Structure 1
Amino acid sequence: MDELPIGRRVAYWRGRRKMSQQVFADRLGKSKSWVDKVERGVRRLDKFSVVYEIADVLQVDVQLLLGKDVERRPETQNCIDQVEVEEIRAALERYDQMSAFFQAVPHSPPLTEMRKAVSHAWLTYQHAKYGVLARMLPKLLRDAQAADSAYATGAEAKDAAHLLGQVYQIASSALRKVGEHELSWLAADRSIAVSQRAGDQLLAGLASYRVGSALLALGRVRPALEVNVNIANRLAPTQFTEQDVRGQRLSVYGMLLLNGAMAAARIGDSATVRDLLCGAEQASLELGGDFNHYWTSFGPTNVQLHRCATAVELGDGRTAVETHEKIDVIGFNAMLPERRAHHFLDIARGYTQIGNVEKASEMLLEGDRLAPSEIRCRPLAHEVLSDVLRRTRGTPPAPIAELAEQMGVGV
């Protein structure tokens, strides 16, 4: 987009913000005709003061309007910033698969390289290195889309579709973390269709899990509950399930139940929460431990973490804290950083619910030491920290004040 004239860039960002020309004009104190002329290039923007005012209304960095690289602050290096979100959006908006219907794909990376890149992206996500992931996702999306098109009719078609389905899921999870819920839903929805082409029910089940997570983040709680429970019922392992895939099926099935429990908790349905958690616990016991099948991190420990999280959603901070104190330390420490730091954020919320601001602060700091991006990049963590600061009497302790300053949360 750098080569576009400034008027076209203004129109692009106005569209992204879903503003009509009239609304945009009203916020600027200009006429609709003035906006139209600017966007068509008839009227020049030769005053920096006006450009800065436009950037403020559109909530973008002024450098984006000027077509220059945005200077990133050091503290944002590990988060997904606005430029990277737009690059990921652009990659999701590509429809190269349709172009491939009419002509051959000019280039596609070998699937062996794609497998390594996708595995690396999963590990990057599970270690909560969201900034690193954001910088690799646009290219990974383009490469995976190209591979899916290039191998669409060959013997490796299902493998290529499987890899693209995974990349869409990684993108969905990362975008949801930083509050880009609509884009997260789009990526998850894409993964469902691709997973069906890959012929993998478990990948499709996990795509449904991502859709449910995105719907939950968007406030569409009942559809989120329904999609998780419906697909879980279809994936429930039976005595006829082959042993070599039983653990994978139990893991995907269990995660769908856990996600359903989170949705049920959001609407205060404690009975459904209890039933779904019990089902997930039975699956975890049959699994016999904590595993990372299909990148789920599912097992008895993750079930306990979700007991805490659902209690917090139900407003029962005391139960969440009591459950937290009983979690197996060895099992917890063996989990990947993203999952543990996420739990510390949940428990920080639990402690604020029972008025223990000091312990809530400790949990935020624990999460920050373990996986800084999980705390510093997530809008939810900013809300929790703001709540902690509001409830703190007097001057906040130095470590929490420093964290607030680094996150840009007012003390």
Structure 2
Amino acid sequence: MDELPIGRRVAYWRNRRKMSQQVFADRLGKSKSWVDKVERGVRRLDKFSVVYEIADVLQVDVQLLLGKEPERKPESVNCVDAVEVAEIRAALERYDAFSAFFSPAGEPPPVPEMHKAVNHAWLTFQHARYGVLARSLPKLLRDAQAADTAYAATDQATDVAKLLGQVYQISSSVLRKLGELELAWLAADRSIAVAQRAGDPLLAGTATYRVGSALLALGRARPALEINVNVANRLAPGTGDSSPEQLSVYGMLLLQGAMAAARIGDSATMRDLLDGAADAGAAVGEDQNHYWSCFGPTNVLLHRAAASVEIGEGGLAVNVHEQSIPASSFTTLMPERRAHHFLDMARGFAQVGDVDRAGEMLLEGDRLAAAEIRCRPIAHEVLSDVLRRTKGTPSAPIAELAEHMGVGV
């Protein structure tokens, strides 16, 4: 595609976004005839500003329109390919605040629209629609960064900084799910700096949680444990009343710390942190979604099972899954959280040698939120293990899932 004229690249991305020439023209404020001439090479695109507007409408990085497209992996249901990852990386590498020293920033997006976009992105993540989210993240990152720069000297600066911090956190979360771990760490680190500037201790707490998650995924369990516990101690409830928001963020940090402790084999610390999170969950009363945490008593139980798997005690995880988690509360959790639990339990059942139940857990997760199973590297590893240990021919549903995921039977 590098050799194609820019007009053909525009046509390629317009078709990939399933956008007609008329719709594309309307969004650009141009005529359909203008678009047609550009795509056929009759009209040249010699203004960088116009190329940038086209890139924004098509939700691709401008470098892709200029012929610098990376190799793409085959499409997968609701997953992302290298092109989408490259676009997110390019958006994270922008430095709008620095550029504003040399030229005035463009018209920023309205703050109410940014609020809606960020809320929608969180819900998209919690419904495990990772492909949809990945395609919208580059523009959301550019808009949030531009707004943060443009509103820096206004009374909306703090509000916009909070929005940018959340966009970085969303980016970190989805990139970690998809195995882009260094980018996940970069986005999480950015979110901490912005949260400090926004002056919101709880947002800083959730940013710390994302950093801890990225570090844990990168195999750096000990620093993940330390950062989660240190910040949790700073947010610990006092002797007076604590808000559900504070308890939720505090509990999230303890849960992430417990996972890190399990990774390094420190079962005593793991259980202490889980017990502390259980106390916070009991104080919250029921599972809530404050600061997009999904925190509460049920989520604590899910982490108790996950930590048991992480430390190699699959039997304990199975007991929690089968005897302790109330079905009525479990079904109220967001799809991502439930499908994640099924993936954890697939690992747990595999640890105790029940590969049939492990396969059932993968299928349950796939039915609930396909991307959580089909797009995550860890799920591919678990499915490969199930197939390897299955005696005889795997069941038709497992074979079909393996085919969808590209895992050899």
Superposition map of 1:91-110 within 5 A = 91-110=91-110
**Per-residue deviation, 1:298:** 0.1
Superposition map of 1:127-142 within 5 A = 127-142=127-142
**Per-residue deviation, 1:213:** 0.3
Match of 1:212 in 2: 212
- For the 8 Å contact 2:70–2:86, the answer to whether it is kept is no
The answer to whether residue 311 in structure 2 is matched with residue 306 in structure 1 is no
Cα distance in 1 between the residues matched to 2:164 and 2:101: 17
- For the 8 Å contact 2:72–2:81, the answer to whether it is kept is no
| One of 399, 402, 407 as aligned partner of 2:400 | 402
- For the 8 Å contact 2:340–2:365, the answer to whether it is kept is yes
Match of 2:221 in 1: 221
Superposition map of 1:322-361 within 5 A = 322-326=319-323, 327-361=325-359
Superposition map of 1:12-411 within 5 A = 73=74, 76-240=76-240, 246-326=243-323, 327-411=325-409
- For the 8 Å contact 1:80–1:130, the answer to whether it is kept is yes
**Per-residue deviation, 1:71:** 7.5
- For the 8 Å contact 2:288–2:295, the answer to whether it is kept is yes
- For the 8 Å contact 1:209–1:228, the answer to whether it is kept is yes
- For the 8 Å contact 2:287–2:296, the answer to whether it is kept is yes
**RMSD over equivalenced CA pairs, Å:** 2.0
**Per-residue deviation, 1:97:** 1.0
- The amino acid that maps onto 1:320 is A
Q: TM-score, normalised by structure 1?
A: 0.82
- CA gap of 1:180–1:199, structure 2 versus 1, over 3 A, is same
- The amino acid that maps onto 2:345 is I
- For the 8 Å contact 1:3–1:67, the answer to whether it is kept is no
Match of 2:31 in 1: none
- The amino acid that maps onto 2:145 is Q
SS of match in other structure, 1:101: coil
**Per-residue deviation, 1:207:** 0.4
- The amino acid that maps onto 2:108 is S
Q: Unaligned stretches of 5+ in structure 1?
A: 6-62
- The amino acid that maps onto 1:97 is A
- CA gap of 1:166–1:4, structure 2 versus 1, over 3 A, is farther
- The amino acid that maps onto 1:337 is P
**Per-residue deviation, 1:293:** 0.2
SS of match in other structure, 1:350: helix
Cα distance in 2 between the residues matched to 1:129 and 1:189: 24
Q: Tell me the matched-pair count.
A: 350
- For the 8 Å contact 1:64–1:70, the answer to whether it is kept is no
Q: TM-score, normalised by structure 2?
A: 0.83
- CA gap of 1:71–1:93, structure 2 versus 1, over 3 A, is closer
Aligned residues with identical type, % of pairs: 70
Stretch moving more, 85-94 or 232-241: 232-241
- CA gap of 1:393–1:208, structure 2 versus 1, over 3 A, is same
**Per-residue deviation, 1:238:** 1.3
SS of match in other structure, 1:224: helix
C-alpha distance after superposition, 1:248-303 (max 9, x if no partner): 00000000000000000001100000100000000000111100000000000000
> 4+ runs of 1 displaced by more than 6 Å?
63-66, 68-72
Match of 1:45 in 2: none
Q: Unaligned stretches of 5+ in structure 2?
A: 6-63
